[in-house]
Amino acid sequence: MSPLKRNDPSFTYSSGSEAEGSSPSRKRARNDVDESFRGVQNIKVFIVTSKLGNDEFVALEKLAQSRALSTGAQRKGLTVLKLCNSPEAADMIVTNIRMRKRFERTIDWKLAKGKAVVTPEWLIDSVNLGTPQACEAYAAIQDLHETTEENCPEPCEKCENAIDSDNEPHDGPLSPTTTEVDWVSHELEAAPPKCDISKLSYLSNYCCQRPSPLKCPNQELVEQLAVIMRFRDLEGEAMQMLAYEKTIATIKAFPKKITEDTLEEFSKLPYVGQKTMTKTREFLSLGHILETKTILASERYESLSLFTQVFGIGASVARQLYDVHGLRTIEQLHLFYDVDAIVDKDEDVADPDEPPEFRIPHALRLMDELNLKIPRSEVESIRDLVMSELEKIEPGYVGILVGGYRRGKQESNDVDIVIGHSDPSTAKAKITGLSKKLTRRLYKKGVVTNVMHLSSFRAPNAMRTAHWDSLEKALTVFILPPNLKNPKAPRVHRRVDLIFAAPQSFWTAVVGWSGSKMFQRDLRRWAKDKKMLKFDSTGITHRWDSKQIVASSEEDVFRILGLEYVSPEWRNADL
């Protein structure tokens, strides 16, 4: 599905691995050159990170990003330096390595002989002098001196007159940069585009490069390990929990049934250590894992699991209730929090215009309902009602169902909807403040009963360290109106999260809120480790200057991060 076509100055976009910063200006910056402009020569540059400090790498990367240089006899041609993600795609390989043996550990020697392999000084001098330099004096490896000279890109003779006769690059756009943004309405929303899983690898260290189905061939083993992982979480053992999460994510992507015949291959997968192998052999032998059986029989595990099913009670509070206050059952929790008295009091003093805050006593009263799974048909009915109310506020709003629904789950724990507006010129203004306006409207209509969290728009914080994004959102308790065809049908309270995103954040919000948890964790890790970028639902930004890179589609998010596209049904890296 492609809800929007590109072309708006406020919707600047950087394609693929050659990610560039965006600018709100209608004029294209001097060095931001359109690749499609006839007469422009591109030189693709790959920078080897080995033997470069972080500051050096960042400085070189900034130098190389869409840098326009003049060429030709009268310096009237135009050459554009473009960063690329792989040495295979590059014309130039820039490296600070000088020794052949060290270089061969990084780049295939046969490949290197077909490229110009130069020192960082070539890039620095070419940019500072405004024209590509001959490679001969910049060969990085003595044994590659001759091939570097041979493979050095020739000046573009066809690029004469590519620049105006005043010898200055175009200050304005070299080609049209504004078109209409066309969003598909929520009624016509198609399924997300499919990916080619043959391009993904279950051997990768990153979940965002693996195909992880909803149910895998080793689902029973995953469920056994998930109990141990959950127990580590309940006990506050964060590192041990993460280790199990990584192992489970690896198993979810492993396409073969684990048996004695495949055990050796399984042992070589990422995050499969000796403990995992011991428990796996135990599972193959007994049909279960002994530690899992012990945990499930534990009163402590049963109580802590029950307590943390209540909104507002995390693992730390649950342990306090169990260890300090001696609570064991939900009935004891009702008495401890004085549920009936507090909820009844809150209902008596409720503001007719503002939905009441959802606190632990409210969560306890509605616990049974909120823990019921939501079928896909009801998820869609909730979405339709929300979009219908938005249409009454003003036409043009669009919404995409995300979360487990988007990943193919037949039943969801809650409903997540990312909401945007189809008019890019006014979308940010129309989205800002919408969370409160819509929530109040739904409250007065009787379908929102409480608010768990309500936030207004906050400017993205480039220094953020937590992964709670700065998007405007309303996390609500929702109940559909009575069914006119079946008035006696029970009405069930549901958790509904409404996420409001301006155009520059819309597709990262869709990817981020689609999950799964481990898939998103590894998207952030990949962006940081491999691309010097920061990713979350708010957007993708450069780490060195916090400039945002705007994605034009769900697939484009992956292109900017230099990843093969993974469609939502293959992002189920958790249980």
Is 279 a catalytic site residue?
A: yes
Where are the alpha helices (H) located in 287-399, listed in sequence order?
290-296, 299-307, 315-323, 330-337, 339-348, 360-365, 367-370, 376-393
Two tokens, residue 223: 């469920």
Asked if residue 116 lies in contact with residue 90, where contact means CB atoms within 8 angstroms, the answer is no
Please tell me the distance from the alpha carbon of residue 170 to that of residue 456, in angstroms, as a whole number: 41
Provide the β-strand partners of residue 420: 398
Please tell me the distance from the alpha carbon of residue 399 to that of residue 510, in angstroms, as a whole number: 10
Please tell me the distance from the alpha carbon of residue 288 to that of residue 530, in angstroms, as a whole number: 39
Residue 450: helix, strand or coil by DSSP? Answer: strand
Which amino acid is present at 500?
F
To 10 degrees, the CA torsion angle through 516, 522, 526, 527? 50
Q: Which helix (H) or strand (E) holds 116?
A: strand 116-118
Residue 81: helix, strand or coil by DSSP? Answer: strand
Two tokens, residue 54: 């972080």
CA angle 456, 451, 519 (to 5 degrees): 70
Asked if residue 29 lies in contact with residue 21, where contact means CB atoms within 8 angstroms, the answer is no
Two tokens, residue 525: 């890790």
Listing DSSP states for 374-420 in one string gives EEHHHHHHHHHHHHHHHHHH-TTEEEEE-HHHHTT-SEESSEEEEEE
Q: Which helix (H) or strand (E) holds 62?
A: helix 54-64
The per-type count for the chain, helices as H runs and strands as E runs, is 23, 15
Please tell me the distance from the alpha carbon of residue 32 to that of residue 20, in angstroms, as a whole number: 9
Q: What are phi and psi of 2, to 5 degrees?
A: -135, 85
Two tokens, residue 298: 């534990």
Please tell me the distance from the alpha carbon of residue 319 to that of residue 311, in angstroms, as a whole number: 15
CA angle 118, 121, 127 (to 5 degrees): 105
The active-site residue out of 82, 279, 473, 531 is 279
Residue tagged 């069914």 (tokens): 483
Asked if residue 463 lies in contact with residue 437, where contact means CB atoms within 8 angstroms, the answer is no
Rg (CA), the chain: 28
CA dihedral for 543, 549, 555, 559, sign (positive or negative): negative
Please tell me the distance from the alpha carbon of residue 394 to that of residue 240, in angstroms, as a whole number: 49
Residue 286: helix, strand or coil by DSSP? Answer: helix
**DSSP state letter for 209:** G
Active site residues: 279
